[in-house]
Amino acid sequence: MLKYRCKAVNSSGTVVEVTLDARDKDELYTLLRDRDLSLLSAIKVNSSRLKLNKNQIITFTQTISLLLNSNLSIQDAIKIGQTSFTDKKVVTLSNLITENLDRGESLSGTLKTLNPGFSDLYIGLIEVGETTGNLKKVINQLHFFLDREKKFNDKLIGAIIYPIIVLSMTLIFSVVFVIFILPGFNEMFQSLGGGLADTLVNRGRTLTTIVTITTLLLAIVVLIHLKRDQKIEEIYLKIPFIGKIVLENETFNLIFALSVLTESSLTIENSLDYGKNVLKNSYLKSQIDSIKNSIICGSSLSLAFRETLFPSKVSSFIQVGEKTGNITSIFNELSSYYLKESEKRIERFMTVIDPIFTLLLGSGLLLLISTFILPVLTKMGDLL
Q: Are residues 34 and 64 in the same domain?
A: no
Query: Are residues 195 and 247 both part of a single domain?
Result: yes
Provide the β-strand partners of residue 7.
Answer: 17, 41
Q: Please check whether residue 256 is in contact with residue 310, taking contact to mean a CB–CB distance below 8 angstroms.
A: no
State the amino acid at position 288 in one-letter form.
I
Closest CA to 63 of 79, 39, 47: 79
Let me know the angle formed at the C-alpha of 119 by 113 and 121, rounded to the nearest 5 degrees: 105
User: CA-to-CA distance for 59 and 66, rounded, in angstroms?
Assistant: 11
Q: What is the largest CA-CA distance in the chain?
A: 99
Model confidence at 207: pLDDT above 90: no
> What percentage of the chain has pLDDT greater than the value 90?
19
Strands 2-9 and 15-22: antiparallel
- What is the distance between the alpha carbons of residues 167 and 211, in angstroms, rounded to a whole number? 12
- What average pLDDT is seen over the chain? 82
Q: What is the pLDDT of residues 44-58, one digit of tens each?
A: 665 555 788 889 999
Is residue 358 located within the same domain as residue 374? yes
DSSP string, 183-197: HHHHHHHHHTT----
* 126 part of a folded domain: no
> Quick one: pLDDT at residue 218?
75
Q: Three-class SS of residue 311? A: coil
Range of the domain at 13: 2-45
* Total tally of structural domains belonging to the chain: 3
Any domain includes 325: yes
Quote the pTM value.
Answer: 0.67
In this prediction, residue 95 carries a pLDDT of: 87
Same domain (yes/no): 80, 147: no
Q: Mean of the pLDDT values across residues 205-217?
A: 78
Which of 31-35, 217-221, 251-255 shows the lowest per-residue confidence on average (mean pLDDT)?
Answer: 217-221
| pLDDT over 90 at 66, yes or no | yes
Residue of 104, 89, 101, 98 lying closest to 47 (CA atoms): 89
In a domain, 128, yes or no: no
In this structure, the dihedral spanned by the alpha carbons of residues 362, 365, 370 and 375, taken in order and rounded to 10 degrees, is -160
What does 196-221 look like in DSSP terms, one character per residue? --HHHHHHHHHHHHHHHHHHHHHHHH
Does 304 share its domain with 280? yes
What DSSP letter does each residue of 86-100 carry, written as one string? Answer: --HHHHHHHHHHHHH
Q: Under 8 Å CB-to-CB from 384, ≥6 apart: which residues?
A: none
Residue 308 lies in a domain: yes
CA end-to-end span of the chain, whole Å? 81
Query: What tens digit of pLDDT does each residue of 171-183 get?
Result: 787 777 777 777 7
Name all contacts of 83-87 with Cβ < 8 Å and 24+ positions apart.
85/59, 85/60, 87/56, 87/59
pLDDT, greater one: 135 or 25: 135
Residues 66 and 155 reside in one and the same domain = no
**Domain ends where: 30, 45, 60?**
45
195 confidence band (pLDDT: 50, 70, 90): low
The pLDDT of 145-150, averaged and rounded, is 86
Shared-domain flag, residues 84 and 57:
yes
Residue 25 has a pLDDT of 80
Amino acid at 271: S
Whether residue 287 sits in one domain with residue 231: yes
Let me know whether 161 and 294 are in one domain.
yes
182 and 314 in a single domain? The answer is yes
For the segment 231-282, what is each residue's pLDDT rounded down to a tens digit? 778 888 888 878 888 898 899 889 988 988 888 778 898 889 888 888 888 8
- Could you report the per-residue pLDDT of 77-95, keeping only the tens digit for each? 999 988 888 888 898 889 8
CATH code of residue 146:
1.20.81.30
Query: Which pLDDT does position 280 carry in this prediction?
Result: 84
Q: Are residues 262 and 187 in the same domain?
A: yes
**What does the pLDDT look like over 354-366, one tens digit per residue?**
787 778 777 877 8
In a domain, 88, yes or no: yes
* Residue 189 phi, psi dihedral angles, 5° rounding: -65, -35
Helices 120-132 and 135-176: angle between axes, nearest 10 degrees: 170
Q: Is the pLDDT of residue 106 over 80?
A: yes
More confident residue, 227 or 60: 60
Give the pLDDT score at 194: 58
pLDDT of 330 reads 92
pLDDT tens track for 125-137:
888 888 888 889 8
The pLDDT value recorded for residue 167 is 73
pLDDT tens per residue, range 294-340:
999 999 999 999 999 999 999 999 999 999 888 889 998 998 898 88
CA distances from 169 to 114, 163, 210, 216, 354 (A): 44, 10, 16, 17, 16
